[in-house]
Structure 1
Amino acid sequence: MKTFFLTAATLFAATPLLAHDGMHLHPHGIDAATLILGASLVAGGVVAVVIRARK
């Protein structure tokens, strides 16, 4: 599970590097949603680590 989250976090962080100019079908102006998604993923990971550490 740890490998999955680290891989997902790495891919999420590298996504801007994959951006390119030209025609594309993804929407723009969703920076706030991306920030909220990233923050919730990090917070969820922290909660999971804390819960697992208390057991």
Structure 2
Amino acid sequence: MKHILAPLAVLLTASAAQAHNGLHMHPHGSESWLPVTVALAVMGVAAAAWKVSK
């Protein structure tokens, strides 16, 4: 299970950035830092899961 968690978290994080040209951390039309915080948390979980799976 832990071998699946890291790639899944990375794919979920990367899919929004790959949906259109340009890599950026803000959702369109949002003035809140909450989505950025959530994205950073997901990346942190992905990094932790990757580290544990090694």
Larger Rg: 1
The answer to which structure, 1 or 2, has the higher relative contact order (CA under 8 A, 6+ apart) is 1
Higher helix share: 1
State the aligned residue count.
Answer: 42
Percent identity over the alignment is 7
CA RMSD of aligned residues (A): 2.5
Runs of 5+ unmatched residues, structure 2: 23-27
Moved over 4 A (4+): none
Tell me the TM-score normalized by structure 1: 0.52
Tell me the TM-score normalized by structure 2: 0.53
Runs of 5+ unmatched residues, structure 1: 20-26
